[in-house]
Amino acid sequence: MKRYQTPLGRVKGLGSAHAGSSHWLAQRVTAAVLAVLFLWFAFSFASLYGKEYLEVMVWVGTPFNTVLLVTLIVTAIYHAILGLQVVIEDYVHKACQRTILINAMRVILSIIGLAIVWAIIRVGLVVSTMMIH
């Protein structure tokens, strides 16, 4: 069997891009984590159907739910960044445009993720101060 890898690549154990396998693994791990978290979220959120606004806020503000919601958002944003990066790398052929698009996408999705996480934490803080009083 003929190997199409350079001698240096065989010694280092890296592919041509040097990061493909870790990117692939991260995509699969985040997908598995998202599957579990989304099932939790879907069933938990469905149980809130017809509840009052304050009851939903208390649900979000519960420390367990807050941590899982933040984990869901961070994982989803990271998974989206990984997936969109692959799409951009596959379909944008000019290196300069590709780099700009990947960096812009990362910045925009990071800002969106931080805003959502901030909103969840803020609700958690409001609920915790309501519980104290």
Q: Where are the domains of the chain?
A: 16-131
Comparing 10-24, 39-53, 68-82, 94-108, the range with the smallest average pLDDT is 10-24
User: pLDDT grade, residue 129 (50/70/90)?
Assistant: confident
Can you state the percent helix, strand and coil of the chain, rounding each to 5?
80, 0, 20
What fold does the segment set 16-131 form as a domain? 3 helical TM bundles of succinate and fumarate reductases (1.20.1300)
pLDDT at residue 15 in the model: 55
CA distance 41 to 49: 13
pLDDT at residue 110 in the model: 98
Average the pLDDT over 17-43 and give the result: 91
Contact (CB, 8 A) for 30 and 79: yes
| Identity of residue 28 | R
Write the DSSP symbol of residue 79.
H
pLDDT at residue 2 in the model: 63
Residues 6+ apart with CB under 8 A from 82: 23, 26, 27, 30
